[in-house]
Amino acid sequence: MKEQNSIPASKVARSAKFVGTGFKIGGNYIKHYSKKLFNPELTRDELNEDNAADIYSSLSELKGSALKVAQMLSMDKNILPKAYVDKFSLSQYSAPPLSGPLIMQTFKKHFGKTPDKIFDKFDLKSTNAASIGQVHKAELNGEKLAVKIQYPGVGNSISSDLKLIKPFAFRLLGMSEKELDIYMKEVEERLVEETDYELEVVNSLKISKACADLPNLIFPTYYKELSGPRIITMSWIEGQHLKEFLATNPSQELKNKIGQALWDFYNFQQHELRAVHADPHPGNFLITPEGNLGIIDFGCIKTLPDDFYYPFFSTTSTDLLNNKDETIKAFKALEMILPKDNPQQVEFYYQAYKEMITLFAQPYMSGEFDFSQTEFFDSLYGFGEKIAKMPEFKQARGVKHFIYVNRTNFGLYNILHELGAKVKTDTYKPHVKLEF
C-alpha cells in the first residue's frame, strides 16, 4: 500500500478535503440519475459503491476521528448499505501508512530523538495502519516490541472533523438533528479519550490486571518510560487477525475456545468491572500460535453508570420482561419511553422494544449459545431494518450510553458469528433488579 507523506492538519486543509469529496459525491449522483433516465430499473448499488469508495479514500487520507466514525459505522451493519460496510471495514485493518520521515518527526517531537537512538532495532515500515495510529516492530535488549504511533494532528482535529463529517453522517444514518447531535457528542468524548495515549496505558494496565485470571487471554506488557501522549510501546504479541486465523481452517474446538475467551472478557468487564473495552473490531485482537486470544488495544473504554446498567441489563432477564409494569418503568429510566408519550405510544414502544430486547438477549437466556446460526442474525438485523423505516423511530430515543454499549455488544456478537463459535453464556451474568 502506498505510503502517505503528509496528513492535512489545519482546519482549512481538512475542510477542503471534505468539500472536494462532496463535489465527487454530487458527480456520482448526477451520473446515477443520468443512467436512470435510460434504465429506470437501475438500482443504487453502483452509486453506493462509488460514494463509499470516494468517502473512504478521503477519510483514509485524513485519518483520525473521521476515519474512526467510518470504522464504527462499518460495525453497525443494519444502518448502512453493504457497499459502505465493505469499504469502511477496511479501516479496521488497513489505512494508508505514514512515510518514514513523518514517523521520525513524531519521535523527535515527543522524545527529542529518532527511534533508532531509542531502540536497538526499529522497522520504519508499519505492520498495521488503522484510523488513529499505526504499529511498528522494534527490539530492545533482545525483546520484541510493538510501537504504536498516533498520526500527527489527530487529537487536535476531533471537534472540527466531526462537524465536517456531520452532513455525510446525516445523509447516511437518516437520524434526526437532535439524535445526531447526541451521537456525535458521545463519539467526540470517547475519541478525545482514545487519542490520549497516556490514558490508554493507564486503562490497559488497569483492565489487563483485572482480567488477568480469565482463561485463554493474553495481554501485552506496557512500557511507560517508552510511551508518551502520542506513542505507546508494548511487548509484541505473535498472532493472526481473525480473517487470517479463519483462513487456516481451525477446528470447531479451537473456534469455541477463542469465542469463549472473547465472551468472558467482555461480560466480565460489563458485569463485574462496569467499564468495558468498547472497540470490539477484529483489528484489536490476535489469535496466538498457542490458541489464546491477545488483546492489543485499550483506547476506547466505556464506563457503565448504575442508572443505565441496571435498567438495561435487567431486561435480559425473563423475570423482568414478564412483568409489564416494571419493564415499562425500566424503559422510561432509559428514555426509550418518554414522559410526553400518550398511552397508545407507551404501548407501541413497549411492544417494539420488548421484541428488540428479547431478540438481543437470546444468548443470555440459555446457558449456551451457538453464534454460527444465521437465523439469529437475520432476525436481529431484519428487525433493525424494519424499525429504521418506521416514522415512530425518527426522533431521538434512548440515553447516550446506548451508542457505545450497543456497539460493544453487537460488535462482540458479530465477531462470534464470524468465528462460528458456540459459547457458554452463563459464566458472567448480568446483575438484575426486578423493580424500578
Which tens digits make up the pLDDT trace of 215-274? 999 999 999 889 988 889 999 999 998 889 999 999 999 999 999 999 999 999 999 999
More confident residue, 176 or 17: 176
CA 39/CA 32 separation, integer angstroms: 10
Burial (CB count <10 Å: 0-12, 13-18, 19+), residue 106: buried
CA dist., res. 257 & res. 293, Å (int)? 9
- Alpha-carbon torsion 81, 87, 92, 96, what sign? negative
Evaluate if residue 364 carries a pLDDT over 90: no
Average pLDDT of the chain, as a whole number: 77
Domains of the chain by residue range: 11-96+156-175, 239-436
Q: Count of CB atoms within 10 A of residue 385's CB?
A: 12
**What is the structure's pLDDT at 377?**
84
pLDDT of 28 strictly over 50: no
For the residues 44-65, what does the mean pLDDT come to?
A: 52
Phi-psi region of 96 (alpha: psi -120 to 50; beta: other; left: phi over 0): beta
- The reported pLDDT for the residue numbered 411 is 83
pLDDT of residue 18 exceeding 50: no
User: Per the confidence metrics, is the pTM higher than 0.85?
Assistant: no
Going by C-alpha positions, the residue among 139, 101, 131, 72 that lies closest to residue 5 is: 101
> Is pLDDT at 114 greater than 80 in this prediction?
yes
Residue tagged 438533528 (cell numbers)? 177
Q: How many whole angstroms separate alpha carbon 40 and alpha carbon 29?
A: 15
Highest mean pLDDT among 87-96, 176-185, 349-358: 349-358
The mean pLDDT of 303-314, rounded to a whole number, is: 92
Q: Which of 160-169, 376-385, 390-399 has the highest mean pLDDT?
A: 376-385
Strands (E), 130-211: 133-140, 143-150
Q: Which whole-number Å values give the CA distances from 280 to 276, 296, 297, 405, 412, in the listed order? A: 10, 11, 10, 11, 6
As a whole number of angstroms, the distance between CA 20 and CA 18 comes to 5
* pLDDT at site 52: 53
